[in-house]
Chain A
Amino acid sequence: MAPDTSAPAQSVVPQSGAPSLTRKDFVSNQDVRWCPGCGDYAILSTALNVFPKLGIPRERFVMVSGIGCSSRFPYYVNTYGFHSIHGRAPTFATGLKLVRPELSIWIITGDGDGLSIGGNHLIHIMRRNIDCTILLFNNRIYGLTKGQCSPTSEMHKKTKSTPLGSIDYPVNPISLALAAEATFIARTLDTDPKHMASIFQQAAEHKGTSFVEIFQNCIIFNDKAFEPVADKTTRADNAIFLENGKPLVYGKDGLRGIRLNGWKPEVVSFDESNPPSGLPTHDEMAEDPSWAYLLSRMDPSQGFPVPFGVFRRVHRTTYEDLMAQQISEAQHRQGLASTEALQELITGEDTWTVS
């Protein structure tokens, strides 16, 4: 067998000498077929702006998706792409990354695809820390199948499949990603392209599984689901943008903050002349996910702002690098693979000859 050449994985990020690419290089010739006004357009457009900035040759990009409105994404990007089956995108991405660690793999999924039918795979790709970027378009509804409630739909929501109101407690994608211990976890929203671009870029540059939840408006079946934060005029009072090492301050005039009362966060208001001391600062690199988890639990219905930005960013060796290590260690111990070695293996230890 030929010696393994894939080990150890090169970083997929900046390549000096890579040809300089522009947004145009990433636009495919396919007509985009989302509903006019869908939040997906802004996400696609932002991603197309970010791709050429990553210093990765175009042929190394692979978009892998499942099923749903968001999962059409690969057709609209002129890179390698795999529009797979419902919920399973992480599995294809895993197999692909294990044999081609040099690729930059993007998993495009939604709340139904990623958190319902594909929940299991999403958990496991994150805990394994396969190097890839997961963009989860959360619109809190099933769009492609025309408007059933999804695992992120709010309790009591009336939809086609829940005419009397949903009796499903919703899942919190960030809390779930933290429990699965993804090494990069962030939230952004479709109406803030600048923030989105910055998060996409950081997610791509992180080595390991990057999980990005994107609040995405489905104008047809769940319009204005994120109105208080999506609308620029109300956002400042309803959203808090996390910045590493900075205190948790938000509000139109920056005069509200989050402080801890024991293990409980609470909102404090203050006036400019008298900023409170002891507001906790955000630590996205904390190894222990408890802090990030606490942030992920802040509930807007209880008067808390919705956090956006990076919740967690830690370093862990990726699954594919650990596998490459095992291969090179085995080759170091037992010698490189060769036809002779394979013949020896096939022959085994106990043989006899019949003449």
Chain B
Amino acid sequence: MSANQRKVEDAENVVIRFAGDSGDGMQLTGMQFTDTSAIIGNDISTLPDFPAEIRAPAGSLAGVSGYQVNFSNFDIRTPGDAPSVLVVMNPAALKTNLGDLEKGGILIANSDAFTPDNLRLAGYAQNPLEDGSLKGYRLYQVPMTKLVETALKDNPLSFRQKERCKNFFALGLVYWMFNRPMEPTLKWIQEKFKKNPDVSDANTRSLNAGFYFGETTEAFEVRYQIRKARIAPGTYRKITGNEALALGLMTAAERAGSHLFFAGYPITPASDILHELAKHRRFGVKTFQAEDEISAIGATIGAAFGGALAVTASSGPGIALKTEGIGLAIMTELPIVICNIQRGGPSTGLPTKTEQADLMQAIWGRNGEAPLAVIAPATPGECFTMAFEAFRIAVKYMTPVMILSDGYIANGAEPWRIPKLDDLPAITVQHPTSADGSFLPYLRNPRTLARPWAVPGTPGLEHRIGGLEKADRTGNVSHDPDNHEFMVKIRRAKIDGVAGDIPDVDVFGSPEGGDLLIVGWGSTHGAIISAVERARDRGLDVSCAHLRYLNPLPKNLGDVLKRFRRVVVPEMNLGQLRLLLRANYLVDVEGLNKVKGQPFKIREIEQKIDEMNPKKLGVSKQKVAVA
């Protein structure tokens, strides 16, 4: 059989994981594969997974970095439970990732890296490529280092520099295997290395060499084809959660006819928001890299006092430092947005891993009765919508709003239907310009309970605000007991009132009620809805509801919960939403809790559903509604 007549098989979806040393460029490889797959119309969902150390010792288990992509011809919502293709660049990558590979899956290994030293570092007594231990997989041993060296023999780069191109070889090979076009990556290489023609040439050749290796080597008997995904019509791009968040914040400022001010301090996994916004001075975006987290929240509040749409972003430990500042924003009733891109905690915890354990911190974690609005996007693309929503609520109610994202959706990518700005609502910002008589900075809008947002520089509205308790209406310092209780209650009532201004929670499955309801929030959405879909396909009476508003909760939530016999909340913590639901609605909620720094797999939620042994659906209900 000649190479060109290789069999091409259609596949619905493939989950591929690239794994190697953190210096091997696996994140880049994964992202290139994702971009190309998105551009040709596959649905995609990604899970980058990298160590906290920038460069752990080469070849060590701690230094392994991975990037998983699920690409498909249908609508997918997670990066996939288990890869069916695993590319490993060294023994440590094999050791740490093999356990996840599907039985019978494709395993591509850079055999040149399986040297005695590397094997020892990974803790292998003998070479697994040779001892038969991998016979349950379709193993392809590719001497990538040597092949790259040969392909680059005319290139003047040093051996070490050439060796670093082997990730492009691996990428070329999987491009061949999955029938992807090379142009997007070739274009990217040209652009990226235009100042360095030798590097550009080396990467281009390595990519081509990998592709042709697949084409000409008889070893690979099949190629796969994954056609365009059948997803809602529209124009799409690929987007990560942090990119979407940054663009959503900018869009809110534009729709408010205002300017965006961002203050932040570098912290994983929130820094990319600062990086993204810092590029957009043209749009009047003012980014301020503060000396610490406290300064970042302070500057944010100062900018909000000055009338800007002001936002800060951080992760758990940084949010802890901002706590006092957030309390001040609540006391001064200034509209700011705080993004918490959650990571594993407590303390420094797991900086590069995902978790949802800051929910209680968001809702309750301040001294005094200190309510604010808390919302949570469910997918990377939704970070755009929720960023916009955060400013809408903040400005309308004059309150801080916290967005709870997490490392999983912040770094994960998906295709995103590009919104038309003209279709988005305007955000109304009102700065009073005069007062009848003396200005009352705490005189409230009777409907929203918001106080006026008077900006320094406005003649006649001079006033003082601060962290001491305010007298109703005048805003003067007050230690009066009745006034304090009144103000505590009115700050709470203002946040409670937001419930009348947010959508009801939708039920996917049987909105009229049934046996089992799975309730989730934030980034668990994809795994939950996929598991519920599968369970319903099997005729089980399972529905789900996903919360994007955590404080206040949607008005209909109590009703929804009571329509189901049993409720389960899967979350990446030890049961924080569960506690809230029990406390608020006296409903006996069960938890499915995972705190491994990894998102849920669909299978894990399905397993829980099976354990609950739900009733069968009536025949007529089996394929109900898409929410």
Contact = CB atoms under 8 A, between A and B. Distances in A.
The answer to whether A and B assemble together is yes
A74 B463 CA distance: 9
Contact of B303 (A80, A88, A95, A341): A95
Nearest to A123: B291
A124 interface: yes
A342 to B, nearest CB: 5
A261 to B, nearest CB: 39
B305 interface: yes
A301 interface: no
Interface string A320-343: 000100110111011111010111
A57 B468 CA distance: 28
Q: Which of A2, A6, A82, A331 has its CB near the most chain B CB atoms (within 10 A)?
A: A82
How many A residues are at the interface, by size bracket?
A: 35 or more
A347 B418 contact: yes
Contacts of A323: 286
B96 interface: no
A145 interface: no
A90 B301 CA distance: 12
A265 interface: no
B464 interface: yes
Nearest to A91: B298
A14 B465 CA distance: 27
Contacts of B466: 74, 81-84
A99 B306 contact: yes
Nearest to A30: B476
A88 B295 CA distance: 7
Contact of A96 (B283, B303, B328, B468): B303
Nearest to B248: A346
Interface stretch (B37-45, B494-502, B530-538): B37-45
Given A82-B465, A120-B291, A94 B299 contact: yes
B434 to A, nearest CB: 12
A324 B283 CA distance: 12
Given A91-B294, A91-B302, A94-B288, A82 B464 contact: yes
Interface stretch (A58-66, A228-236, A275-283, A284-292): A58-66
A349 to B, nearest CB: 8
A75 B464 contact: yes
Q: Which of B235, B236, B307, B466 has its CB near the most chain A CB atoms (within 10 A)?
A: B466
A352 interface: yes
Contacts of B458: 59
Nearest to B243: A348
A188 to B, nearest CB: 25
B626 interface: no
B116 interface: no
Contacts of A80: 456-457, 462-464
Interface stretch (B52-60, B100-108, B419-427, B481-489): B419-427
A281 B126 CA distance: 80
A227 interface: no
A102 B457 contact: yes
B306 A95 contact: yes
B461 interface: yes
A94 B418 contact: no
Contacts of B111: none
Interface string B153-166: 00000000000000
Given A351-B236, A354-B41, A96 B456 contact: yes
Interface residues of B, number: 78
Contacts of A354: 41, 228-229, 231-236
A352 B40 contact: yes
Contacts of B328: 84-85
A353 B415 CA distance: 11
B257 interface: yes
B298 A95 contact: yes
A121 B419 contact: no
Given A85-B467, A121-B298, A330-B281, A95 B228 contact: no
A4 B38 contact: no
A225 interface: no
A330 B281 CA distance: 6
A2 B282 contact: no
A98 B303 contact: yes
Nearest to B420: A343
A347 B308 CA distance: 25
Interface in B37-88: 38-41
B590 interface: no
Contacts of A59: 456-462
A245 interface: no
Contact of A341 (B282, B288, B420): B282
Nearest to A79: B462
A8 B496 CA distance: 42
A34 interface: no
B265 to A, nearest CB: 11
Contacts of B456: 59-60, 62, 80, 96, 100, 103
B477 to A, nearest CB: 7
A91 B250 contact: no
B89 interface: no
B247 interface: yes
Q: Which of A2, A3, A94, A352 has its CB near the most chain B CB atoms (within 10 A)?
A: A352
A98 B288 contact: yes
B291 A84 contact: no
A93 B302 contact: yes
Q: Which of B307, B332, B467 has its CB near the most chain A CB atoms (within 10 A)?
A: B467
B177 interface: no
B251 interface: yes
A95 B282 contact: no
A327 B466 CA distance: 31
A83 B236 contact: no
A78 B466 CA distance: 15
B253 A1 contact: yes
A271 interface: no
A120 B282 contact: no
Nearest to B253: A1
Contacts of A164: none
B283 A91 contact: no
A348 B237 contact: yes
B606 interface: no
A305 B409 CA distance: 63
B421 A343 contact: yes
B228 A83 contact: no
Given A85-B324, A353-B235, A354-B231, A341 B283 contact: yes
A328 to B, nearest CB: 9
B251 A95 contact: no
Contacts of B232: 354
A99 B303 contact: yes
A344 B301 CA distance: 30
Given A59-B462, A341-B283, A346-B418, A91 B295 contact: yes
B472 interface: no
A99 B408 CA distance: 33
A79 B456 CA distance: 9
Contacts of B263: 95
Q: Which of A79, A335, A346, A348 has its CB near the most chain B CB atoms (within 10 A)?
A: A346
Contacts of B284: 1-4, 327, 337
Given A342-B251, A351-B236, A352-B40, 6 more contacts: A81-B466, A94-B295, A98-B303, A99-B286, A99-B302, A99-B308
Interface of A: 1-4, 6, 28, 30, 57-60, 62-64, 67, 74-75, 78-85, 88, 90-100, 102-103, 120-121, 123-124, 323, 326-327, 329-331, 333-337, 339, 341-343, 345-348, 350-355
30 contacts: A2-B259, A3-B284, A57-B459, A59-B458, A60-B457, A62-B456, A80-B464, A81-B465, A81-B466, A82-B305, A82-B332, A83-B464, A91-B295, A92-B301, A94-B298, A95-B302, A95-B306, A98-B261, A98-B288, A99-B261, A100-B455, A121-B298, A124-B290, A327-B282, A330-B282, A333-B282, A345-B280, A345-B283, A348-B237, A354-B41
The 6 closest A-B pairs by CB, nearest first: A91-B298, A95-B302, A83-B466, A95-B299, A92-B302, A81-B464
